[in-house]
Amino acid sequence: MSRPTIAEVARAAGVSVASVSRVLNGLPATEEMVVRVQRAVQELGYVPDSRARSLKVGRTFQLTLAVADVGNPVYVTMMRAVEEVVSAAGYRLVVTTTGSDVVDEVALVRGMARGYADGLVISPLRVDDDLIKSIRECDVPVVVAGNVPASAGVDTVRANSPKGMALAVEHLLTKGRDRIAFVNGPVDTVPGAARAKGFADALKQYKLEAAGAIEADDFTFAAGRAAGQEFFKTNRPNAVICANDLLAVGVMHELAAYGLAVPADVAVIGMDDSELAEQSFPPLTSVNLGSAERGRRAAELLLARIDDDSRKPKRIVVQPTLSVRRSTP
């Protein structure tokens, strides 16, 4: 059966549509009016059509979070944090996944016409001028959870991965591990580039040489395994830092396959400190890049901008901490 409209409710209650709308939106009305309308609503099982409503009021009360890969547990952490903030503000959160290709991201932002959502938090893997252009032209507010140039003029919340790298390297050095290898994700991604630079800087700071660096095809478990396979045949570092937890777990599987013990033979450090770090075996020492806090603050920034679009863009940097677990000595 088809949904009743406000007109049918009005007819059933013997009042005008305007009165029904007013009662539903809690505007002043007599006791009797409220009762009549509510009874009619009850009886017909009326629920307002949100399309029509949002067409009129200009808001959908939906916010979108766009992430590259739902399989990456770091996004779970971020998603939970965002969800908490936006639902407290009376919005519902919808999550969509972009894939790691920048043209998909651009298409998503372009298609983010007013009408799908009132705002967008996007965590892009790859950033190019097209993406930045589409974000600026987007007619709903966009907050980037990630690193884009200040010139883009957009609210951002990003991690400090160089500092995170430094934490990881320092930790390994205090544990006496000085032959440190690095398994990165694709360096043409924003996090990949940042982490590569961070690793190089951290080593330079301690006047160390890298014991090897390898670029995985992707930020996934499978790519981590593949990277490990290629690498540990020939190289013998006593520690390896991975650009995220999935890569680290993939690498640990390969280490086991080559009969190397973690942490005794090789210490392993991941990044993101996702739920997977806790679940892996041995539990993974991981650089906490503050995904939860980044999610929370990105959501807050978005709400603030929806509230007032004229405020100048804010760029927040969340500082990392190290979660030490048993994959390091």
Partner DNA sequence: ATCGTTCTTGTAATCGTTTACAAGCCAGAC
Partner DNA sequence: GTCTGGCTTGTAAACGATTACAAGAACGAT
Minimum distance, C-beta of residue 21 to a second copy, in the bound complex (Å): 15
What is the size of the binding site for DNA (CB under 7 A)?
Answer: 27
Minimum distance, C-beta of residue 156 to a second copy, in the bound complex (Å): 21
Nearest to 286, CA basis, from 251, 261, 258, 316: 251
**Residue 194 — φ and ψ, nearest 5°?**
-60, -40
Residue 105 exposure: Cα atoms within 13 Å on the Cβ side: 27
- Contact call for residue 55 and DNA (CB under 7 A): yes
Minimum distance, C-beta of residue 35 to DNA, in the bound complex (Å): 10
List the x/- string, 135-174, binding to a second copy by CB under 8 A: --x-x-----------------------------------
Residue 260 exposure: Cα atoms within 13 Å on the Cβ side: 23
Residue 111 burial (CB count, 10 A): 10
Minimum distance, C-beta of residue 226 to a second copy, in the bound complex (Å): 14
- Binding range to a second copy, per CB under 8 A, among 28-36, 50-58, 167-175, 193-201: 50-58
List the x/- string, 207-246, binding to a second copy by CB under 8 A: --------------x------------------------x
- Contact call for residue 53 and DNA (CB under 7 A): yes
Q: What is the dihedral of CA 305, 307, 312, 313, to 10 degrees?
A: -10
Strand-pair partners of 213: 182
- Contact call for residue 94 and DNA (CB under 7 A): no
The tokens for 5 are 């409209």
Classify residue 150 by its DSSP letter: G
Minimum distance, C-beta of residue 68 to a second copy, in the bound complex (Å): 13
The tokens for 36 are 């009549």
Buried b (16+ CB within 10 A) or exposed e, 6-22: bebbbbbbebeeebbbb
Peptide bond into 263 cis (omega under 30): yes
Minimum distance, C-beta of residue 251 to DNA, in the bound complex (Å): 50
Nearest to 190, CA basis, from 221, 234, 240, 152: 152
Burial of residue 112 (CB within 10 Å: 0-12, 13-18, 19+) is: buried
Query: From the list 26, 28, 32, 45, which residue makes contact with a second copy (rule: CB under 8 A)?
Result: 45
Where do contacts with a second copy occur on this chain (CB under 8 A)?
A: 1-3, 45, 47-55, 60, 62, 70-71, 73, 76, 79-80, 83, 92-97, 110-111, 113-116, 137, 139, 221, 246, 249-250, 252-253, 256, 275-276, 278-281, 283
Residues forming the site for DNA (CB under 7 A): 3, 5-7, 14-19, 21-22, 24-25, 28-30, 32-33, 46, 48-49, 52-53, 55-57
